[in-house]
Structure 1
Amino acid sequence: MYTTDTTHPTFERGAMNRRLDLAMLLVLTFSTGMVDAIGYLGFDKIFTANMTGNVVILGMALTGADDLPVLRPTLALVFFMVGAAFSGRILGRRGEDWHHRTTTIFTLVAIGCAGLAVYVGVVPDPEVGITGTIFTSALSTLMGAQAAAARKMKIADVTTVVVTSTIVGLASDSRLAGGDSTNWARRGLAVGLILVGALAGAASLLINQWIGIAIVSVIIAVAAYIGHRGMHRRTRTEAAAESPADATV
């Protein structure tokens, strides 16, 4: 019977690459906190990354609750799914490791956010009327694509767009609940980063609406670049490694 040698350098490098992927997804979690704060506070109570929030808002709005939008959260839901479907189509049945198509998705999202920053910067009153609806729909499409690419990587407890299940895991697996606090660090970071991201997004609105989206674009571009470099290092390492036995009898 063969067992994997977890002390072998190749295994250790693989674990290091997964830690790099985790770090990049945590960075993207921060950026989605910014995105949702900008959408909710600056564009008529719309979540462009957290679709759970939109479903709740839409449900309340359909009961006749005052001052709650219907069109924008509906379009955000639809376009988020369009973006996720587009991303899934590009990624296909790729494995969990970062792939050059993963880089492509995140790069397109970064470029799209940069374009939206320009759009918000040049359009008068971008939050009003059809211009605001175009912005929230387009940003939801980008966030759907990003979320699908993150999901494909299957990093436990880090989806980049929601932290409800992460909070449940953090509490239910805690030592207080009789668990072993599995993955408590990444769970705590995911929650904290989306919180700090929302704070940063809200603060950016005090300057100008385009500032926050421009920052998000840079963050996603940096994550895409670092993740891509990590993928190339992994590929070179695997090519140079001795093939047969990362395993022992």
Structure 2
Amino acid sequence: MPGTGDSDRPSRTWQHVGADPRLGRLPVLMLALTVVSGVVDAASILGLGHVFVANMTGNIVFLGLGVVGAPGFDIVRNLIVLAAFAAGAVLGGYLAQRVGRHKPSVARDAAAVTALGLLVCLVLLLTLDLAGEGELRVVSAIAAASLGVQFAGARTVAVPDMTTSVVTGTLSGLAAEHVHAAPGAASRRALVLVALLLGAAVGGLLMLAVGGVRGTAAAVGLAVVLLAGVSVTAGIDVRRERASAA
């Protein structure tokens, strides 16, 4: 319609996937965070040992394998990562409460804190000798805590079907409810699966192309850049909301 402001553009863009118009650009930001999850999990699996830093379901399985003595699965590292992720989620919940659960503010702060944590990981990867098990556990724990903040933020933002890392329910919903799902639900779920797959593929390619600690650092560096973009974009939306309300 003539005279429609820029604020309506995200609504039109995401109307076909059934996103709530009030969410603005948050759906695309959640997809970017899903790509981040894929990138860092690929890096952690290939570069930090058999451990996820975003997908805790996988770590529970790995922990079970470690308990029965399967080779290559570190019980201590998995327990540390699970505890670190939970601690990060607590911090993410606190950040959400601090801004009154305002969705763009939550997305901004969660992405910024996650980026800061992964930046610390990047510095460690580039400056320390990570041949030792202790160093690998430290980097894994910091990365998991960072992704815990991201996941808690995504839960607060609550874009339907976009949790940024857990996609088992997304996949089952896409398969089981495709006939009677809410409008746009199938599109959202498919986009989340593609985003996670894309992130894992890109992270894996970086690991294979660069190799070793440098490959892990390259993947983590890409995740930091994506997170910075999410935080800046969400921050712009927060300022626009405040300006329009003034």
User: Alpha carbons of 1:127 and 1:50: their partners in 2 closer, same or farther (altered >3 Å)?
Assistant: farther
1:79 corresponding residue in structure 2: 84
2:33 corresponding residue in structure 1: 28
Q: What is the distance in 2 between the residues matched to 1:91 and 1:97?
A: 8
Counterpart residue type for residue 234 of structure 2: G
Provide structure 2 residue ranges, at least 5 long, that are not aligned to the other structure. Answer: 12-19
Q: What is the distance in 2 between the residues matched to 1:62 and 1:84?
A: 25
**Equivalences for 1:152-167 in 2 at 5 Å?**
152-167=156-171
1:213 corresponding residue in structure 2: 220
1:202 corresponding residue in structure 2: 204
**Equivalences for 1:91-110 in 2 at 5 Å?**
91-92=96-97, 94-95=100-101, 97-99=103-105, 101-110=106-115
Find the residue that maps to 2:104 and give its secondary structure. coil
Pick one of 138, 143, 148 that aligns with 1:144: 148
Q: CA deviation at 1:77?
A: 0.4
1:40 corresponding residue in structure 2: 45
Give identity over the alignment, percent: 26
Q: Which stretches of structure 1, 4 residues or more, deviate above 3 A after TM superposition? A: 11-17, 178-182
Counterpart residue type for residue 229 of structure 1: I
Higher helix share: 2
Q: CA deviation at 1:182?
A: 4.1
Pick one of 183, 186, 207 that aligns with 1:184: 186
CA contact (8 A) 2:96 2:102 kept: no
Pick one of 121, 128, 132 that aligns with 1:123: 128
Q: What is the distance in 2 between the residues matched to 1:16 and 1:231?
A: 16
Provide structure 1 residue ranges, at least 5 long, that are not aligned to the other structure. Answer: 1-7, 240-249
Instruction: Give the number of the structure whose alpha-carbon radius of gyration is greater.
Output: 1
Q: What is the distance in 2 between the residues matched to 1:111 and 1:162?
A: 22
**Cα-to-partner distance string for 1:158-210 (whole Å, 9 max, x where unaligned):** 111111111111111213xx556641222111101111101111111131221
- RMSD over aligned Cα, in angstroms? 2.3
Q: What is the distance in 2 between the residues matched to 1:231 and 1:79?
A: 29
Q: CA deviation at 1:34?
A: 0.5
Counterpart residue type for residue 231 of structure 2: A
Q: For this pair of structures, how many residues does the alignment match?
A: 228
